[in-house]
Amino acid sequence: MSYVNNLKMFVRVFELGSMSAAARDQRTSPAVASARIAELEKHLGVRLFNRTTRSLQPTESGRIFYEGAQNVLEAIDAAEAAVVDATQNPKGTIFVAAPLGVGRRFIAPHVPAFKDEYPQIDIRLRLSDRKVDVIGEGLDLAFHLGPLEDSTLKVRVIADCPRLLCAAPSYVERRGNPENGEALVKDRHDCLILRFPGAREFQWTLRTPDGPRRYDVSGPYESDDGDVLTGWALDGRGIVMKPWFEVAEHLRQGRLVPVAEATPPLPTQFVCLTQHRRFTDPKIRLFTDFIVSRCKAQLARETEGIQLPR
> pLDDT (tens digit, 9 = 90+) per residue, 104-144?
989 999 999 999 999 999 999 999 877 788 888 888 999 99
Please name the amino acid found at residue 202: F
Q: Is the pLDDT of residue 200 over 70?
A: no
Q: Is the pLDDT of residue 151 over 80?
A: no
Give the number of other Cβ atoms within 10 Å of residue 91's Cβ: 11
Q: Is the pLDDT of residue 291 over 90?
A: yes
Position 195 confidence tier, pLDDT thresholds 50, 70, 90: confident
Q: For the chain, list the domains and their CATH numbers.
A: 2-82 (1.10.10.10), 92-145+275-302 (3.40.190.10), 163-266 (3.40.190.290)
The whole-number pLDDT of residue 138 equals: 84
CB 16 within 8 A of CB 25: yes
Q: Is the pLDDT of residue 264 over 70?
A: yes
In what helix (H) or strand (E) does residue 141 lie, and over which residues does it extend? strand 141-145
- Range name among 2-16, 79-93, 181-195, 210-224 with the lowest pLDDT average: 79-93
Angle value at C-alpha 50, between 48 and 52, nearest 5 degrees:
145
Query: To the nearest whole percent, how much of the chain has pLDDT over 70?
Result: 90
Length of the chain: 310
Higher pLDDT residue, 83 or 298?
298
- Which tens digit of pLDDT belongs to each residue from 33-48? 899 989 998 898 999 9
> Three-class SS of residue 195?
coil
The bridge status of strand 240-243 relative to strand 163-167 is antiparallel
DSSP-assigned letter for residue 254: T
CB 18 within 8 A of CB 138: no
The whole-number pLDDT of residue 290 equals: 94
Position 199 confidence tier, pLDDT thresholds 50, 70, 90: low
Position 279 confidence tier, pLDDT thresholds 50, 70, 90: low
